Amino acid sequence: MKTMTTLTNIADVLNGGKCILILPHIHPDGDTIGSSLALLLALKKIGKKATILVEDEVPSSLDFLPLEYIYHELPQDVCPDVIVAVDSSDLDRLGTRADYLKHAARTINIDHHITNVQFAEYNHIDVKAAATGEIIYELLQKMNIAIDKEIATCIYCALSTDTGSFKYDNTTAKTHRVTADLLEYGLDLNEITVRLYQNKPYEKLKLLGEVLNTLELHYAGKLSILSVTQDMIEKVKADPTDADGLVEFARDIEGVEAAVLLKELSPAEIKVGLRSKYKVDVSKVAADFGGGGHRKASGCTLQGSIQEAGKQIIKAFKFLER
Ligand code: 5GP
Ligand code: MN
């Protein structure tokens, strides 16, 4: 049966498990990877067998985290009795790995998305948490697992990336208190900042150059749209993950209230990233297309060409006409 549950119950389930499989969401970001690794490192400390399984490439900006614990295929000797989905609002966010949830004795869903559909047996959804990393920090405290520099680095990465470096209004006093505590463990803030934000591949900047040429404004400049095609990625020899974050350039334009990045995954499948600044709730727009996320940052996937996807998305923002 599906239930919302406390972190104490989640801690009990994890303590009762032997082999724990941790699943970050598809198209992984700093929160899902940082949170998953912090949880894995903590579980290892208390003698659990823990594995992280992903199905997409982890962005190169996260290379400084202990990615050696992350597998792209489940090792043969791993038969999980507990599965933990991290930072995923629905089963689609787990991609093909959603099937594993059918076979495990216990399933846990730890997340902070308002659109979470409570797909596991034990669901802990805290929409006030700035990042899933903030929930993981609390969970480790409940489990009396001592944080160390490596765990602190992973949680810091989750918090920093999901708050836009502590700028977005999901950032709370608690977020800052947790962060202050993390800094006590001696993490190397300069190194983390350089690796996360000041270490962009040259090709990413070349891609930005291509993508900026596609900028469109609609609804008297309240909606901005950028497009990334596979041709652009190939032309500048960029990696598909180099498109991550480019939507922020569309958002940060004067007068823009909502921003869109259309990314061609294939000629007939388009990933849509959505951002807003003030009142526009882009999670509702994403949900209309089967996606989800947060009020000011959400996403969905549309079938069809990038032109068709663009038309549908522009229509979905018709409320900006007022
Ligand atoms: P991004 O644009 O950075 O990929 O995603 C922004 C936010 O929207 C993240 O919190 C992410 O979890 C959420 N998100 C992006 N795409 C999807 C999607 O297809 N489905 C759901 N449920 N959430 C999404
Ligand atoms: Mn998150």
CATH number at residue 151: 3.90.1640.10
How big is the CA angle at 316 (ends 315 and 319), to the nearest 5 degrees? 95
DSSP 112-152: --TT----SSEEEE-TTSSSHHHHHHHHHHHTTPPP-HHHH
> Is there an atom of ligand 1 within 6 Å of 115 CB?
yes
**Which of the ligands is closest to the CA of residue 158?**
2
- Single out the residue in 169, 197, 225 at which a domain terminates: 197
Q: With the CA atoms of 83, 89, 93 and 94 taken in that order, what torsion angle do they form, in degrees rounded to the nearest 10?
A: 10
Least distant ligand from the CA of 115: 1
- pLDDT string in tens for the chain (322-residue length): 467 999 999 999 999 999 999 999 999 999 999 999 999 999 999 999 999 999 999 999 999 999 999 999 999 999 999 999 999 999 999 999 999 998 888 999 999 999 899 999 999 999 999 999 999 999 999 999 999 999 999 999 999 999 999 999 999 999 999 999 999 999 999 999 999 999 999 999 999 999 999 999 999 999 999 999 999 999 999 999 999 999 999 999 999 999 999 999 999 999 999 999 999 999 999 999 999 999 999 999 999 999 999 999 999 999 999 7
8 Å CB contact between 107 and 120: yes
Sign, CA dihedral 137-128-122-85, equals: negative
Structure tokens, 210: 């291509």
Look up residue 101 and give its amino acid: L
Q: Which domain holds residue 146?
A: 3-197
Atom of ligand 1 minimally distant from the CA of 32: 12
pLDDT at 102: 86
Answer whether 30 contacts ligand 1 (Cβ < 6 A).
no
Domain closes at, from 139, 173, 197: 197
Residue 221 shares a structural domain with residue 137: no
Give the ligand with the smallest distance to the CA of 248: 1
Take atom 8 of ligand 1 and give the residue whose Cα is closest.
Answer: 298
* Residue from 316, 265, 275 nearest 299 by CA: 275
**270 shares a domain with 133:** no
- Same domain (yes/no): 262, 118: no
The answer to whether residues 45 and 14 touch, using CB atoms and an 8 Å cutoff, is no
Q: What is the CA 312 to chain-centroid distance, rounded?
A: 24
Same domain, 190 and 222: no
On whether both 152 and 72 belong to a single domain, the answer is yes
Shared domain for 153 and 249, answered yes or no, is no
Q: What angle do CA 241, 137, 91 make, to 5 degrees?
A: 50
Minimum CA distance residue for ligand 1 atom 19? 300
Gap between the Cα atoms of 300 and 284, Å rounded? 11
Please, are residues 108 and 7 in contact by the beta-carbon 8 Å criterion? no
CATH number at residue 285: 3.10.310.30
**How many residues are listed for the chain in this entry?**
322
Pocket test for ligand 1, best of 161, 270, 298 (most atoms within 8 A of CB): 298
- 220 Cα–ligand 2 center, Å: 32
User: Is the Cβ atom of 293 under 6 angstroms away from ligand 1?
Assistant: yes
Q: Reduced to 3 states, what is the DSSP secondary structure of residue 171?
A: coil
Q: Among 197, 226, 253, where does a domain finish?
A: 197
Say whether both 50 and 73 belong to one domain.
yes
**Within this chain, do residues 43 and 101 fall inside the same structural domain, yes or no?**
yes
Ligand 1 close to Cβ of residue 299 (< 6 A) = yes
- Shared-domain flag, residues 186 and 230: no
Distance 245 CA to ligand 2 centre (A): 14
Q: Are residues 179 and 57 in the same domain?
A: yes
| 28 touches ligand 1 (CB under 6 Å) | no
| Residues 187 and 222 grouped into a single domain | no
Nearest CA to ligand 1 atom 24: 299
* Structure-token pair, residue 148: 């160390």
The rounded Å distance from CA 185 to ligand 1 centre is: 31
Structure tokens at 40: 């894995």
Predicted pLDDT of residue 2: 62
The number of domains in the chain is 2
pTM over 0.90: yes
Shared domain for 20 and 145, answered yes or no, is yes
Surrounding residues of ion ligand 2, Cβ less than 5 A? 31, 87, 131-132, 162
Q: What is the DSSP letter of 262?
A: E
User: What is the predicted pLDDT for the residue at 286?
Assistant: 97
Runs of H (alpha helix) within 46-121: 100-103
Side chain identity at residue 297, one-letter code:
A
- Residue 31 Cβ inside 6 Å of ligand 1? The answer reads no
